[in-house]
Structures are given as structure tokens and as C-alpha cells.
Structure 1
Amino acid sequence: MMSLLITANRYQDASLSIAAKHLSFFFNMSLLLKLLLASGLSLLSTAASAAELKAGLGYIPSLAEKNGSGPFVDLFKAIAKVYPEARIQIQVLPFARSIRNIELGLQDFHAPMMVSPYVDQEKLPYRFVKKPMGQVCHVLYSRKNAELNREQVFSAASHTAYPYRIEVIRGTKEFFNFPFPIAEATYFEEGMNSVIKGQTDAFIAAQEEGDAILRRLPGKEQIHRSLLACWDDQIVIPKGPHGDEIDRILTAALNRLESSGQLKKLRKKIHGSYSDWQTGVTATTLPAPKKNNQADHHP
């Protein structure tokens, strides 16, 4: 009888031991599942907190090429690198389409965009990042035998009939919104050649883009260059709370680039200060551009 009791007790002990092991196994599995779940939720939370931003760069020959190369592309790659909290997808698009994507909510920001003092920003369907990337100088290209300067083209705006025929590149007219009549040329070469042939009186373009064309153009010796104005070079973002968040992200990234000295180096490859390479006059010897809020509205 005693033997049977011992055997029964051993059996009971073994059963309890097995049950304990099973409970321990399920407890450990439950703990493991909880840890995995917590880890997964943490990863999802991290992924959700990292902003996914779509950037559009307007196609500009030599600065933002269709194949995704150029100094502007390098600048935005640097922005993405110094701000790992956001993942930025960069695409080079036709200028007008990139702007339109902002308005339609298909894109988070666009660059570049110079900020003209003649545009009422409140009426725009988008806004700008508070911190400019830098400045872009615009040049007035006229004929050497009929030179024009900025004082002439702006003061003549008060005339009953504007005496000059001036062009800008197609798609930028509304962004300048000059207080005088402006026509548009499809290509930089077209705008320059119209001046050379006497078909127009002047062509306005950003210095680097315009000079790149002028330097290789037959008849370039007939062109006179003069500074029109230098304005902020900005990033376009949507209006509203989403735009506010993008503004915060891009401003922080630009500040990081600036404090490290990278922004200045990158900008030198895009837009520099005005340089009159035809005569050797630099921006320091030119009259300072008038403030945007002056009554006469000259640049």
C-alpha cells in the first residue's frame, strides 16, 4: 500500500512538474509575444513619426537636370542628410507642374522660387518657407547700342504707353508681376536672340541661367548686362497646418546646413552675388538695391 502511495505521489509530483513547465513555457511565450508586440509598435511609431516628404525641383538647365543631377539637387540631398527625422524624395519636374503639384496637394514643397516684391503673397495659393535659401540676382539684358537700366524700365511704367518691349522666360511672368508690360520667350536663346536682332528691347533672367546661355551665344558681344535686382530665393510650401510643419522641418534643416558652413558652399554653385564680368564691376561697387517697401516700388 505504501508503495502505491509513493508511486501515486511521484506521479502527482511529475504531473505538477510538467504542468509547471507548461505554465512557464506559456508565460515565457506570452512575455515574448508582448515584447515583440511592443517592439513592433515602437517601430511603427518611429516610422509614423518620420515625415515622408515629396520635393519637386523645377527643371533648370545645369542647375536641376532631368536626370536628377545638378547643384540644386545636391542642396536638397544635403537637406535630407542633415535632417534624418524626415525622409525626402526628390524629383526634377517641369517648373509649372511642380508648382501645380503643391496646389493640388500632390507634393510637399517646391524649389526654387524667387520672391518678387510686386506679388501680393496673401493672394497666392501657396506660401514660402520663412528662411530663404539665399538670394538670386536678375539681370537686364539689352543691346549695347540701346542700353537699358533698371531705373529706365521702372520709371517708364508711369507712361501712358510703355516704350519698351521686354521679355522673361515663359512661365515666370506671373511670379515677377512687374508694374510694366512683359512678354514671354519659350527659351533663353530665343529671348537673347530677340534682343540681338532688335525685335525686343530687353530680356530679364536670373544671372546664372541667363549668363550660361549668353556666353555660348553667337552675337553675345552685342548684349549689355546690368543688374535689375536681387531677391530672396525661396522654397514653396502649402498653406495651412501641413505647410507649417514642413516650414519647421526645412527651416531647421537650413539652419543646420548654415551653421556647418555647408549652405554657403552649396549656394555658391547655384546663385552668387551680381558680377558684371563684361566690365569687371562687382556687386560691391553697384548702388544697393532699394528696399521692397519703398514707395516708388523700384527693385
Structure 2
Amino acid sequence: MTSTTITLNNGVEMPALGLGVFLTPAGQTADAVSTAIGNGYRLIDTAAAYMNERAVGDGIRASGLDRDELFVTTKLWPGQYGDQAVHGFAASLDRLGLEHVDLYLLHWPVPTAFDATVKAYRAMDEMRAEGRVRTIGVCNFLPHRLQRLEEETGLVPALNQIELNPYYTQPATRAANAERGIFTQAWAPIGGTYQRNQDAVTNGAASPLEHPLITSLAQKYGKTPAQVVIRWHLDHGLSAIPKSVHAKRIGENFDVFDFSLAPEEIAEIDTLDTGVRAGGDPETFTAYSYLTDIDAQ
């Protein structure tokens, strides 16, 4: 992928590479967002559960960039599925200080309350029809959950944001997304947010950034390991939202459009997959898996 944008299944264009702010403290978020925008980022990804939507809005305004030039994503927390979805969305808009968001996502499927998940998704489609959201999608949906959501709503998500990096490549979910015309976006794309199960990795590298294959490719291309991994995502036709609060790294993570990996290098990186999930399991997630008080912000 040499272009910096992709087209979703409803015709909406989205930047391929963006800034994620998961686990970014609110006090550092505004600077990270404005720095990212200054470095060329046009996609900013947050969520109600990240407790930093206000700071994201502050960073957008501090950047001085026109709102229409940005693509802003946020997510509905499962504790507000069902009848609370409209309230959850309105609260996110208020915290962001925006009149609309470009992409609104269900943050997790809730297997034990999937009726509420479905009801929330229908409400999100109404928000889209009203023009308060440009497009809607999901996070962390495995293939059978995508199928059930489509069967019960008649709606195909524009995007499925999933944990995805060279150590956890999720080929089955990516294939199911592609089959339905759903775009795949990676969270934790460089794998540096979590420490991996040491029994499941090779060469003693707890992160893809430490793996000898990645570091050797970084040396070959004169890039950082993170840039190589981000390029791997883009060369696969994926979207990625790496996070950082460091200005230098924020700039480096976007400086990936001047090279591409060879097909055999992409395939070799694919072999690093361990099948080990580092984040939450969508099959055991409940609305109260985390005790996040969204309305306390």
C-alpha cells in the first residue's frame, strides 16, 4: 500500500495509518494528538473507555487543522450497550467537543448479552443515518460474531478493529472480514503494548520489535523496527493505529511511505505468528470485564 488512504465499504475514505491513544494518560494525550497531526497524521483513534476523549478534542483544536481534514474514531463501551447507546454516543461527542465522528465502533462483543450488542449496533446505524456518524463498525469480533451481527441486523460493519501484529496475525478473522467486505484495522500493531507469553515466542524476543528478523530488516532498510512492522501492516493492505507519547517516535511511525517490504520478507514475518493473544478474549468478555466508570470523566 503506497497510498495513505483506503476506501471503506460505504465509500468513505479513511487514512490507512493513524495515532492510537489506548493507555495514553489524559495529561499527555493532547500533546500527542497535536504532535501527530503536525507530523501528517489525519486519523486519531480513541474510545470512551480510554478516559482521554476530552484531551483528544483539545489536541485536535490545538493543532489548528480544519476538522474536515481529520478522521476521528471513538468507541461505545459495552456497559452502555442496549438502551444506553444513545447516551454513550452523546457523551463521547460532548467530551470530544465535536459535532460528529467519522467512525463509531462497538468496543467489544458481549457474548453473554449479545442482544444488547445487537441493539446498540442498530442504534449506531440510526446515528449514521442522522449524519452524526459517517460510518460504523466493530472491534474484536470473531467470524461467527460477525455472521450473527449481520444476520440479526442486516448490516455489514465497515471495519473490524482487532489485535493484530506479527506475533498474532489472526488469519481466520482477517479472511472473514475480507469475505464480507469489512476492512481490518490493527490495534497493538507493533506488539509493544503487551509482553508475550515467553513459551510462545522464538529467539527469546518478547516483542516483535526485538525479534532478529525484524531488527535485521530494520538495518537493511535504514528504518526502526517499529517502522518495519508498520510497513508490514500496510503491505498487507491493513490499517494500523500505533500509539506513542514521544514526539520522535510519533514522527518515525508515520515515516513509512517511502519504502516497501519484498513479498518474501512479508511472508517471512508472517511466520512469526504464535497464535497467542495478549489482550482480552472476545469469547469471555463481559460488560464488566473492566470496572471503567465512563460517566465519571
Q: Which has the larger radius of gyration?
A: 1
Quickly name the TM-score band, shorter chain normalised. Answer: under 0.3
- TM-score normalised by L of structure 2: 0.24
More strand by share: 1
- TM-score normalised by L of structure 1: 0.24
